[in-house]
Structure 1
Amino acid sequence: MSHSPESSNSPAIVFYGAGSMAEAIVRGLIATSAARPEQIAMFNRSNIERLNHLESRYGVITASTEEAQNELLTKAEIIVLAMKPKDAGAAIRRLTPLVQEQQLIVSIIAGLSIPTIQSLLGHKLPVARTMPNTSSTIGLGATGISFSEEVTEELRSRTLSIFEAVGMVSVIPEAQMEILTGVSGSGPAYVYYMMEAMIAAGIEGGLSPEQARELTVQTVLGAASMMKETGEKPADLRKAITSPNGSTQAALEVLAQYQFTEAVKSAVHRSAARSLEMGAAIEEELA
């Protein structure tokens, strides 16, 4: 396996890390023709079986030897940091003697700041810090992106095209990356948590597990699609289906009684705070 590219036709995008998010992005790039398989390379620390799977499924270039990996990293136009946070320090330090000034570093490592990445690299390279969510694996992701001042318009455009291949993108100042993590990074889990409860209640009321699941999934899908297609505020859509003294109003009163709004807002802010804590811990460890 592991074939090294010819010098004249090196992959433009190299994924340092080959987990599920890296695979999702690669799948999106190929499916939307944002990149061809031969323009993409992937490698990880030691899982050759995983690399074999990715190479056979997508036709991307992979590398299992350090020499081949270093060649890919040296010649890449874009290097995507997609390893686990605990491996980030060693990985980025490995890049220091390999990277060139014109290369773009794209990070999907939660909590790792742009100044820390640049400090570890020892160069003020252009860096894009991103926070995609798990819905990217089906092309319906929401990704926040912050750019360092070294990122040119061309590199911004290329970064956006990478993540637009797996969903929608929001460009934000780095200071807002934590709150975006609380809203969209962790957000799918809040929705799943509510769906679990809706399904459980349906089963308690006598629906079959299959019926409860299908009704809940379609309800959430329909509600999200209504918001997206109508452009209306969620409060207006909610009011439109809430008849005075009706069943929906009765249900909403119970949610209010349990301080539903405050709970969700607190969850978002706690996720943001925890993201900040994790980033500080990573930076302290790497210092």
Structure 2
Amino acid sequence: MIAIIGAGKMGEALLAGLLATGCEPGDVLVAEPVRQRADDLRERYGVDGVPATEAARRAETLILATKPQDMVAVLNEIADHLTARHLVISVAAGITTSVLEKHLSDRGAVVRAMPNTPALVGKGMTAVCGGTHTTDTQLDQAERLLRSVGEVVRVPERHMDTVTAVSGSGPAYFYFVTEAMIEAAVAMGLPRATAEVLARRTIAGAATMLEESGEHPVMLRENVTSPGGTTAAALRELERHGVRTAVTEAVDAARARSRELSEG
């Protein structure tokens, strides 16, 4: 039995992914304190809604998808109902395995996961790391569950803040670039609807090529860039304005903020 505690967007994405990849509704519990939300999920997916304490008693695997600021309260609520058989997977940003273990009094094994929002469309990228008592077999189990919404990689916990900066925050960087492309085209007289289609499909197509071709991004960029051509002129401006440095500093700032959040 699997229980998802907290059914916001990420919790629902995980629920939908699990059901789409073979889990039966009867094998999944959802603990969601907002009654209307719990009723909606029950109607939509056919799963039982239960209190968090009941979820902890009935399920051996718990996926904690609550907001980071609510996590300690949830951990304290379920701690007395956990045993060594439990596997607890947290997808809350900034919550370390040491925090999980401390508030669960080392009951059960814990896994820290950092998914990103493309998980909502089954294209997520999630990094995982285990706690002090977590075995490779339990990490394998967590990875299998999280693959229901995309790809999964295993990293040492010391790298989780960098993961957050690259893949957790990363989608926002691409949305920012897409927004800038649209606004530039509109400023040059292109109708907004046309600009949005061109920018959106260009970004999506480029991402697909990067994923499916297996080519390094440098090679793909060079394939687009003819000597003395339009792309070369554009890239010169990006370099002149320090875009590469700005991206590096942005990722570093996100990593630093993630560290601050992890430290409380």
Identify the TM-score tier after normalising by the shorter chain.
Answer: over 0.9
**Alignment match, 1:8:** none
Which one-letter code corresponds to 2:76 in the other structure? R
Q: Secondary structure at the match of 1:142?
A: strand
Which of 105, 110, 120 lines up with 2:93 in the alignment?
110
1:145 to 125, 128, 131: 128
Match of 1:202 in 2: 185
Equivalent of 2:45 in 55, 58, 62: 58
Cα distance in 2 for residues equivalent to 1:153 and 1:238 = 38
Candidates 2, 8, 12, aligned match of 1:23 = 12
Distance of aligned partners of 1:124 and 1:174 in 2 relative to their CA distance in 1, 3 Å threshold: farther
Q: Secondary structure at the match of 2:134?
A: coil
| Contact 2:111–2:142 under 8 Å retained in 1 | yes
Q: What secondary structure does 1:111 align onto?
A: coil
**TM-align CA RMSD:** 1.2
The gaps in structure 1 that reach 5 residues or longer are: 1-11, 282-287
> Match of 1:95?
78
- For residues 27-176 of structure 1, the aligned pairs below 5 Å read 27-33=16-22, 35-45=23-33, 47-63=34-50, 66=51, 69-176=52-159
User: In structure 1, how many angstroms separate the alpha carbons of the residues matched to 2:221 and 2:245?
Assistant: 18
Percent of pairs with identical residues:
36
Cα separation, 2, equivalents of 1:29 and 1:192: 27
* Counterpart secondary structure, 1:165: helix
Moved more, 222-231 or 178-187: 222-231
Secondary structure of 1:220's counterpart equals: helix
- TM-score scaled by structure 2? 0.97
TM, length-normalised to structure 1: 0.89
1:146–1:171 Cα contact (<8 Å) kept: yes
Conserved 8 A contact 1:74-1:100? no
Q: 1:225, CA displacement in angstroms? A: 1.2
